[in-house]
Structure 1
Amino acid sequence: MKKIWILAIALIASLALAACGGGNAEETDGDTVKVKIGVNGADGAQWPILQEKAAKEGIEIELIEFADYTLPNNALAQGDIDLNAFQHIAFLGQYVTESGNDIVPIGSTMFAPMGLYSEKVSDVSELKEGDKIAIPDDPSNQARALLLLESAGLITLADDFGMFGDPSKIAENKLNLEILPMTAQQTPRVLPDVAASVINNGVAGQAGFSPKEDAIFVEDETDENVHPYVNIIAARGEDKDNETYKRIAELYQEEDIAEAVKEDTNDGSILVELSQEELDKAFEELKK
């Protein structure tokens, strides 16, 4: 009788330990592993393709949709999901700094380039002394817009510009351009009144613009300055080297998914493949 009780207690303990697995990837039937990925939009054309690819390798991907940008990282940290794919490196860096939670990038996904648009000139070389340039005024996009203007050769930024630098950090402005920060939604609306406007990808799309076709200058995805704005697949720090999760990140980079992303975003977004070393470098820079 004593042996039966010992066996029963052992069985209960083992079941309790299994139940504590939370959001960790779990085996379903046979060798299939189930992975929960938190997203902000599960209707992207890339997801069914990724799910099908993963299924062929014994990985069942379940998409968990969140309506609020603040939720997927908390859910990941708490173990309710295994991965998330909704944010760029800069967003994650800010979250980790503020929360102290150990979440890291394990793969890159897409990049939505910011562009410089104009109704008055067709090339940045045509901009003149004193021209007005509109930029978004929220800290992250304002800094990104100024980095774009520097890449275009229009200004030079101070060495201590950082991730949230503003126009006060412009070290050189040869054309004495008048930089006009404003809400992101206003940047396309003021095009008749300014020489050019820096418009982020989402707002440009809503205004009917394509970075590839309409911008007079656009971010270069190979420029290290834009790495913080590359979207990622994120995992808990303890799962950084999980082979199943890394394989999902690899599958995301395949050609048919790249084509699906381009078509789904009307060429507004492109797949970018950063190495783990590049991801780590960009991420660590943000936490300094």
Structure 2
Amino acid sequence: MKKIYSFGLAAVALLVLATGCGQKADASKENGAQGKEEVTVKLGIIGADTDVWDNVQARLKDEGINLEYVKFTEYSQPNTALASGDIDLNSFQHQFFLDNFNAEHGTDLVSIGNTVNAPLGIYSEKVKDVSEVKEGDKVAIPNDVTNGGRALNLLESAGLIKVDPAKKQAPTVSDVTENKLNIEIVELEASQTARALQDVTISVINSGMAVDAGFIPTEDAIFLEPVDEASRPYVNIIVARAEDKDNEAYQKVVTAYQNDETIKVIEETSKGSSIPAWEAFGSK
């Protein structure tokens, strides 16, 4: 009987000990849950260069936000993914591009914060100056409405063509009113404009695509878009669905981006080619 009684006490002691350990483990788990609960935010981007966003991503960790990249290759993709709910935010476009997309697709996507102004540039492997462009030379431009129109206006600024002023920011090739050199304008998907340099005399390339191709816009472009008040529609933005524009986590992403640390990385990675837009044009 004494042996049975002793065994019973030992069993009870082991049960109490095990219960105590279990309670400690559960308490530890609760304490972890009571800390900052990590929220994943899926960000749609285009291009391989994520240096600026990597800096933002690291700082967002302290806010309990896991910023996850979803990479796309064409400008037609990130807004569709955002509208369908496949991603939470995107950052690849300017306001004019977004306005045009909403109008064409009946979507309700909105800007929640400015990022950078990235001037459009003219690049070439064949000439050193736009004045060297000759009769009949080929010129590549992006084929989407907004960047195509912007490219045509840039070619006008460079003195190569004239476009119908009534078309303002959205001229098309058919709106070219003067083309003294009879240059051949080739419209390509924006991601192809840098790759086309071997086949054309000059190419109008978006800043992000140029950087991905190894160019430093302020050094390598033979003609660069001026930055002034007329640049406002071309300020790059962070975009969300309208119903999510006040989402706390998404607003933290904007705040983390519009930071002095981000400015340093922008200056380093773009070699001064991109301008922190929230300083020049406001936060949104």
Distance 1:275 1:37 in 2: 25
Instruction: Give the Å deviation of 1:218.
Output: 0.4
Equivalent position of 1:5 in the other structure: none
| C-alpha contact (below 8 Å) 1:139/1:164 kept by paired residues | no
**Among candidates 46, 69, 72, match of residue 52 of structure 2:** 46
Q: Which amino acid is the alignment partner of residue 257 of structure 1?
A: T
The alpha-carbon deviation at position 169 of structure 1 amounts to: 1.5
- Contact persistence 1:133–1:178 (CA under 8 A): no
Give the Cα–Cα distance (whole angstroms) in 1 for the partners of residues 36 and 58 of structure 2.
16
1:142 and 2:151 are equivalent in the alignment:
no
Gap regions ≥5 residues in structure 2 = 1-32
- Aligned partners of 2:138, 2:183: CA distance in 1, in Å? 5
Match of 2:239 in 1: 234
Answer yes or no: is 1:249 the counterpart of 2:254. yes
Find out whether 1:178 has 2:187 as its counterpart.
no
AA aligned opposite 2:91:
A
User: Among residues 180, 191, 198, which one is paired with 1:189 in the alignment?
Assistant: 198
Shift in alpha-carbon separation, 1:145–1:77, aligned structure 2, 3 A: closer
Distance 1:39 1:134 in 2: 30
Q: Identify the residue that residue 275 of structure 1 maps to in structure 2.
A: 282
SS in 1 for 2:67: strand
1:220 matched to 2:229? The reply is no
Question: Quick one: percent identity of the two aligned structures?
Answer: 36
Q: Per residue, is there more helix in 1 or in 2?
A: 2
Shift of 1:148: 0.7
Amino acid at match of 2:99: G
Q: Is the 8 A contact 1:135 1:179 kept in 2?
A: no
Question: By how many angstroms is 1:150 displaced?
Answer: 2.6
Using structure 1 for the length normalisation, give the TM-score.
Answer: 0.64
1:111-130 matches, within 5 Å, as: 111-118=117-124, 119-122=126-129, 124=130, 126=131
What per-residue deviation string (whole Å, max 9, x for no partner) do you get for residues 210-255 of structure 1? 321122210134352x444433211121333456533432321223
Structure 1 stretch 247-256 or stretch 64-73: which is displaced more? 64-73
2:106 corresponds to which of 70, 83, 100: 100
Question: Does the Cα contact within 8 Å between 1:143 and 1:164 map onto a contact in 2?
Answer: yes
Provide structure 1 residue ranges, at least 5 long, that are not aligned to the other structure: 1-27, 280-288
* Helix, strand or coil at the partner of 1:109: strand
The count of residues paired between Structure 1 and Structure 2 equals: 241
Corresponding residue number in structure 1 for 2:18:
none
Structure number with bigger Rg = 2
Structural RMSD (CA)? 3.7
Counterpart of 1:245, as a letter, is: Y
Q: Distance in 2 between matches of 1:188 and 1:264?
A: 23
1:168 is aligned to: 174
Q: What SS is found at the alignment partner of 1:198?
A: strand
